[in-house]
Structure 1
Amino acid sequence: MVGSVLMNGYNRPFTQRGAEPPRHMHEQALQIGLRILLTLVLLLLASLARHTRLAGAASYRQSVHDRLVLALYYPWFDENTWTSGATPDLPAQPYASRDRTVMARHIQQAQQAGIDAFMVAWYGPKDGNPTETNLAALLDEAAARNFKIGILFETTSPFFAGPGDAAAALQHALTVHAGHPAFLRADGKPVILFWRPQLWSVDTWQSIRDQVDPSRSSLWIAEGVDTSYLRVFDGHYLYSNTWNPPTDLTYTNTKFARLVAQAEAALGAPKLWLATVMPGYDDTRTGRPNAFVQSREGGAYYERSWQAALASQPDWIVITSFNEWPEGTYIEPSQREGDRYLRLTATWSARFKQGTGVVQAASASPAQPVQPPPVDAPAPEPVDAPQPAPTEPTAYVDVLLLNLRAGPSTRHAIVGQLPQGAALTITGQDPRWPDWRQVRYNGQTGWVYAPLTTQAGPLARVPEVEAPALPPVLPVRLAQELPTWLLQTAGLLESPER
């Protein structure tokens, strides 16, 4: 209609026909249009920048031949952790693991220290537990910073009632998380480290993997002292090589490197050896009955740990840990240590990646000099004294201290400890537990982990016996209400594997 009034964005009337609107109104409309256009362009650029960062994070393909440095990372701390009295030290900045600014800070600290990826402890996706939500957030934060995240699969997760739950969780990990551009891959294969796979037999893991990863399109790395799991897994590492009583770090690393090489030759398939480095150990505030302290020695122990790891010529390095506070193995900045261990990590990770081998420690004090073995002549392994030819099946203890257990698993209670060199009479074996032997020593009967012994005598005469059943697992809520020492003594909670 002629003369009808329309309203522009400034609520100023002008006629639809007849006189043209004033010139300044054209200019205002033009300015509004330019602002809208500029906003759209900025939004487009921001979106492109984000996708470019994600693409950049995925563009570099790690290889199994790259010298990767991985750090175990624990995502379950909150404000109450630091007032519980359960840690031997405190972070320089106490935090809650769910805080994304903390995740970003940790990632930046790790990058500055030469760490390539965090292996994040994960309980599976059930109930949206914090390890699931924090893993997803860490992947996003890592993608924005060209960092990598892998999974440390917690086989003892309170959300796993059995192998079926673990298989479902692994399926979720490979179909959901492993597709993220920040997920750690080597030769295109997602990398997963496993904690305590010995909870189930090698055959059980074979079944799980055939179900979850039949084409072997991911890399599974097993933990522990039993290298027979390499029949199913693609590599091996030790969560801890800081034991009580202590063992020679160079001997321990070269021994397991040799066992992995032997498995590779026997199985006709490549296997990865991941050597572990630790700054020390202190779990004396956890309530464990076997808690102990390995002094950090002002950084000297950490440097010896690196030297011993490099002497074993590993494929990759595993740091235990970035932030395992209750066990005192953290390297993140602390109130007592400052950033000493990040700086040492930067030095040694650079040496590992440059292939410079074992060299003089960077910060050993004059009062405690570190004398590493030569690069081309690593420390020789101890030679066992010849044992007399036994007339009955016998196992000789190879390690400084071996646990005698009530049954053939680390879930069974420890009933005694056996010294190095002890001669144990083998009294039985259960075919369902091929790596364990029933033994008798000084009138006491129990079970020992056979790979930590040397067996001799007429082994064909060892009878088959039926091993005790696995101890029951307590409901999670009840287990949380009981002291750790009581659960371990009763065999209802795992105690250290040796």
Structure 2
Amino acid sequence: MLENIKYIIEKYGDHPAFFRYKSSTGKLLPLFYIYDSYLQSPDIWAQLLKSTGKRSIRNTPYDGIFIGLLVEEKHKAEVLAAGFDGIYTYFATNSFSYGSSQRNWRSIKAFCDSNNLIFIPSVGPGYIDTSIRPWNGQNTRNRINGKYYETSLKAALETRPEIISVTSFNEWHEGTQIEPAIPKTRGQTAYLDYLPYKPSLYLDITRRWAEKFREEQEKWLQ
């Protein structure tokens, strides 16, 4: 991980499109989402992510904001012990996991607030992955012509988060894409489209809620 971070920052760190986020100390630092972070023990992560760690990345040119994945409730304490800067929930299926269950977001946010962690709820337009996981129909979530997405965005916004992540832009195989779509069939696979609405339906919804998010954030800071 340390070598990967060094490579990313050294190769792309000066590019104008390289994203940086203002940390609690006021520094602009790269933000990294760490998928399946719970597969490594907190003690191992702490060697890299805590200032007292043996190979600490903190206060070096390679420092960043590191966001761990929360799946189970116990991961809250593990993320904290590991030295991560925040939590994200990733999965687009409401109730698939503890972290992706919108009913838990307020309590997760409260935990993050009390421990100086960033809470990043993840929202999605729907979910259907049965073309690649035929056994997983119980986790399908119908888009309901954008209502599922808007319900997820509303639940996320109500927690007053610093960031909301979208799962995903273009993962067609899991039915979570928000990019423009028109009817398309390839072999036996018929890709989801947004008819009778226009191809940009989900980008339009994203734009509208992004503007609302910005307006709400301004109110929270007053």
| Bucket of the pairwise TM-score, normalised by the shorter protein | 0.7 to 0.9
Question: Does residue 190 of structure 2 align to residue 329 of structure 1?
Answer: no
- Name the amino acid aligned to 2:111: L
**Cα deviations across residues 416-439 of structure 1 (Å, max 9, x unaligned)?**
xxxxxxxxxxxxxxxxxxxxxxxx
Displacement, 1:175?
2.6
More strand by percentage: 1
How do 1:85-484 and structure 2 match up within 5 A? 166-187=1-22, 188-209=28-49, 210=53, 211=55, 213-215=57-59, 217-225=63-71, 226-227=75-76, 228-231=78-81, 232-240=83-91, 242-243=93-94, 250-262=102-114, 264=115, 270-287=116-133, 289-291=135-137, 292-335=139-182, 336-337=193-194, 338-355=199-216
How many angstroms apart in 2 are the aligned matches of 1:271 and 1:356?
17
Please give the alpha-carbon distance, in whole angstroms, between the structure 2 residues aligned to 1:246 and 1:230: 19
| CA distance in 1: counterparts of 2:96 and 2:32, whole angstroms | 30
Cα deviation, residue 223, structure 1: 1.3
- Please list every run of 5 or more consecutive structure 2 residues that lacks an aligned counterpart in the other structure: 23-27, 183-192
Q: Provide the secondary structure at the position in 2 that maps to 1:344.
A: helix
The amino acid that maps onto 1:253 is W
Contact 2:92–2:126 (CA under 8 A) maintained in structure 1: no
Q: 1:221 to 1:197 in 2, by over 3 A?
A: same
Q: Percent identity?
A: 29
CA contact (8 A) 2:90 2:121 kept: no
Letter in 1 for 2:152: S
Deviation string 1:441-477 (CA, Å, 9 cap, x unpaired) is xxxxxxxxxxxxxxxxxxxxxxxxxxxxxxxxxxxxx
Amino acid at match of 2:164: I
Q: Secondary structure at the match of 1:282?
A: coil
Taking the aligned partners of 1:202 and 1:255, their CA distance within structure 2 comes to: 22
For the structure 1 residues 201 and 356, does the alpha-carbon distance in structure 2 shift closer, same or farther, using more than 3 Å as the test? Answer: closer
Normalising by the residue count of structure 2, what TM-score does the alignment of the two structures yield?
A: 0.75
TM-score (norm 1): 0.35
Cα separation, 1, equivalents of 2:96 and 2:5: 36
Matches of 1:323 and 1:278, distance apart in 2: 11
Aligned position for 2:186: none
- Rounded to whole Å, the distance in 1 between the matches of 2:125 and 2:215 is 22
For the residue of structure 2 that corresponds to 1:190, the secondary structure is: strand
Aligned-partner Cα distance in 1 for 2:112–2:120: 10
CA distance in 2 between counterparts of 1:295 and 1:255 reads 26
Name the structure 1 match of 2:185.
none
- 2: CA distance, partners of 1:241 / 1:185: 25
Distance 1:276 1:307 in 2: 12
CA distance in 2, matches of 1:329, 1:252: 22
> 5 Å matches for 1:17-36?
none
Q: CA deviation at 1:287?
A: 2.7
